[in-house]
């Protein structure tokens, strides 16, 4: 049994006076202990909402979450608020996008690390402080004892994200969700943070869900990738297969739109036309059809079902990209 089994997760936001908005539309995936899976997609595809739903951090009002999130056999969605609070930080950790705003600016780093330890491991402040220094040391913060007394604004961006990771991992959760953990950092720091995450996951056997829009992050870290579009998984594959042979036109487009070192000089990047519509309808046809270079008539009429391609590969497309299609061809289509 997988550590985390997300089945048919659906999040509907109900706003007064307007039609309900489905942000996550039947997402399913498994995470095994020690495994890293990626959830990829552009802004508004539902990736952050998915992670918040798993953590039970969505606002209590104005939305409806259905489906199941089985964590070691317990459906997290059925737990009471109190039970969920006990689990968060202890069994499930989360790292957020902006390391500065995710730290409390008026209290020192040390207190923010010990807070979790005191909460979940019943440590005394003194013991927790010692543990906190070790944690900061483990995530590669130099001179951790001094850092404990410092305030978030005194740390560099990379250091702050390291501190946040230390806090999230303080109680050795079995699942860590990282929601765009490197987006606010520059490239060299990104690489450091990613290798730190990789190392920690390998050392502790923590399962990691990596929420990102950056395929580069996925390429370096994830075992399995879920590509989200309009709240649904449009393609799921092992990392190598996905990069070697993207089948869904959306995945294909994403890969074509990032520069590659091995591409000939002067080659143009191919953007995906248009942008995500506000409310993406999956009811009649494929949500990606209006932007899809491969779209057929059937795509606009029949919702594509999720098909098992074998080898753990799932695809939701009527007219997938043929193996070996270069990116450039799509411009003419």
Partner 1 sequence: MTSLLNRKKQRVDELAESAGTSLAADALRRMSRSPVAIIGAVIVVAFVLLAILAPFLAPEDPYVRYPELLDQLRPDSIPGPQPGFLLGSDELGRDFFSRLLVGSQQSLIVGVGATLFGLVVGMAIGGLAGALGGWVDSALMRFTDILLSVPGLLLAISIAALAKKGSQTTVIIAVAVVSVPIFARLLRGAMLAQRHSDHVLAATSLGVKRKTIVFRHMLPNSLGPVIVQATLTLATSIIDAAALSFLGLGDPDPSRAEWGLMLGNSQRYFDVKPELAFYPAVAIIIVALGFTLLGESLREALDPKNRR
Please report, as ranges, the residues that interact with partner 1 according to CB under 8 A. 55, 57, 85-90, 93-94, 96-98, 101-108, 111, 115-116, 119-120, 149-151, 153-154, 164, 167-168
Shortest gap between Cβ of 201 and partner 1 (angstroms)?
18
Q: Are 105 and 152 in contact (CB under 8 A)?
A: yes
Shortest gap between Cβ of 287 and partner 1 (angstroms)?
28
Cα–Cα distance between 24 and 230 in angstroms, integer?
Answer: 7
**Closer residue to partner 1 (CB): 85 or 260:** 85
Shortest gap between Cβ of 54 and partner 1 (angstroms)?
11
Shortest gap between Cβ of 253 and partner 1 (angstroms)?
31
**Closer residue to partner 1 (CB): 117 or 222:** 117
**Closer residue to partner 1 (CB): 155 or 254:** 155
Shortest gap between Cβ of 119 and partner 1 (angstroms)?
6
Cα–Cα distance between 165 and 49 in angstroms, integer?
Answer: 20
Cα–Cα distance between 201 and 288 in angstroms, integer?
Answer: 34
Cα–Cα distance between 36 and 30 in angstroms, integer?
Answer: 10
Cα–Cα distance between 140 and 216 in angstroms, integer?
Answer: 23
Shortest gap between Cβ of 314 and partner 1 (angstroms)?
29
Residues 6+ apart with CB under 8 A from 300: 284, 285, 286, 289
Comparing CA positions, the residue from 136, 141, 93 lying closest to residue 114 is 136
Comparing CA positions, the residue from 221, 209, 224, 226 lying closest to residue 95 is 209
**Closer residue to partner 1 (CB): 126 or 153:** 153
**Closer residue to partner 1 (CB): 135 or 227:** 135
**Closer residue to partner 1 (CB): 31 or 55:** 55
Shortest gap between Cβ of 147 and partner 1 (angstroms)?
10
**Closer residue to partner 1 (CB): 85 or 240:** 85
Q: Are 270 and 329 in contact (CB under 8 A)?
A: no
Cα–Cα distance between 114 and 184 in angstroms, integer?
Answer: 25
Cα–Cα distance between 173 and 121 in angstroms, integer?
Answer: 12
């Amino acid at each position: 049994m997988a550590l985390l089994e997300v089945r048919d997760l659906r999040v509907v936001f109900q706003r007064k006076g307007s039609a309900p908005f489905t942000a996550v539309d039947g997402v399913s995936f498994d995470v095994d202990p020690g495994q890293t899976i990626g959830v990829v997609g552009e802004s508004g595809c539902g990736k952050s909402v998915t992670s918040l739903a798993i953590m039970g951090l969505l606002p209590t009002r104005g939305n409806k979450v259905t489906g199941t999130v089985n964590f070691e056999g317990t459906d997290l969605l059925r737990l009471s608020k109190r039970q969920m609070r006990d689990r968060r930080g202890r069994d499930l950790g989360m790292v957020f996008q902006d390391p500065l705003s995710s730290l409390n600016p008026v209290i020192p780093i040390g207190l923010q690390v010990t807070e979790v330890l005191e909460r979940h491991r019943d440590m005394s402040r003194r013991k927790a402080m010692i543990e906190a220094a070790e944690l900061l040391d483990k995530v590669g913060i130099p001179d951790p004892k001094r850092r404990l007394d410092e305030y978030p604004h005194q740390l560099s961006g990379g250091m702050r994200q390291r501190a946040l990771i230390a806090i999230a991992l303080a109680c050795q959760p079995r699942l860590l969700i990282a929601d765009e953990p490197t987006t606010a950092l520059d490239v060299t720091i990104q690489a450091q943070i990613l290798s730190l995450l990789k190392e920690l996951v390998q050392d502790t056997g923590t399962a990691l869900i990596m929420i990102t829009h950056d395929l580069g992050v996925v390429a370096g870290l994830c075992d399995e990738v879920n590509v989200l579009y309009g709240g649904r998984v449009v393609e799921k594959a092992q990392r190598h297969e996905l990069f070697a042979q993207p089948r869904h036109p959306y995945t294909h487009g994403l890969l074509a739109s990032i520069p590659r070192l091995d591409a000939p000089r002067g080659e143009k990047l191919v953007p995906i036309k248009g942008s995500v519509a506000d409310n993406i309808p999956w009811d009649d046809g494929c949500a990606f059809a209006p932007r899809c270079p491969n779209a057929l008539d059937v795509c606009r009429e029949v919702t594509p079902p999720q098909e098992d391609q074998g080898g753990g590969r799932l695809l939701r497309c009527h007219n997938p990209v043929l193996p070996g299609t270069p990116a450039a061809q799509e411009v003419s289509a």
